[in-house]
Structures are given as structure tokens and as C-alpha cells.
Amino acid sequence: MGAFMIIGLILGIAYFPGPPIDAKALADFTRLQRELGHIVQVTDRNGKEMIATLGTADANELTLEFGRHVQRLAATEIAHIERRGDSVVDGAIKGALIGLILGTLTAQGAETPGDTWKVFLGSMGLYGSLGVLIDHGHDGWTSVYRSPPAPSIAMRVRW
């Protein structure tokens, strides 16, 4: 029974998506200045997705570069922007947490308290490093902009 709980805990840590980014921060169009020159995926309000290099961005519009073709998009037309690549920090944290669990189990066989800490910290370092390597090999996408939700219009009719 205990082994299934440990496996479940390890899988839960591995598949945890990480901390969400504040919606107010994602709605700031000026965040795109840091992403100039990066490959981005832009989704417009109609659901059309475009993958291109982010050329320029200001408070009102941005330009996407598709090779020699350049396209301008107004900020009001854009629903979501993601940048290719993600941080390896979450992989290091997840790996270290898995190492914490497995290090706790393997440190029980150590002969001295000094050996216990060596096994424990070595396990965290090893699995943290593996988490970084796995996350580095994974080519994910990071959200850099999400338009604020459109105001909803409601109409109520009473009889």
C-alpha cells in the first residue's frame, strides 16, 4: 500500500503544471518587449494561429516576421501569445522533490547520521539534475500575453 502512495506522489509532482502567472500581468502588452526576436505563436480573436518571429511591439500593435514577409497586428486583434521554450527551473524543483522522497527512503539504510545526510542530499541533487536535463530536452511554450476578457453583455427579459 505504501509503495502505491509513493508512486502516486511522485507522479503527482512530475505532472504538476507549476505556478500560474497572474492574469493581470499576462494582459500587459508591454511585456512583449522582452520577447523581441523570439519565435512566438500568436492566436487572434478568430482562433487563427500563426508561428513567426516577433519583430516589433508597442502598446498598440506588433509585427510578425515570416521570413521576408512582415505582418502587422493591432493589439485588439490578438487573443493569446506564447513564446517557444520554457524555464528549466520547474524541472529542477520537481526533480529535487522526487529526490527528497526517494532520498528519505534510501537514507534509512545509512549507517551513520553523516551518511544519512549525504545520501539524502545526493539523491536530491541527482534527481534535480535529471529534472533539469529532461526539462531542457522538452521544447514547450510559455504564455507571454493573454488579452483581457471581453466584457460580457447580458440581457434579461422578465414577463
Mean pLDDT of the chain: 78
pLDDT attached to residue 1: 46
Return the domain boundaries, the chain: 22-84, 87-137
Q: What is the largest CA-CA distance in the chain?
A: 81
Average pLDDT value for residue range 96-122: 83
d(CA 41, CA 84): 8
Average pLDDT value for residue range 87-97: 81
- The domain 22-84 having CATH identifier 2.30.30.100: the answer here is yes
Q: What pTM was computed for the model? A: 0.58
Average pLDDT value for residue range 122-136: 85
Across the chain, how many H-helices and E-strands are there? 4, 6
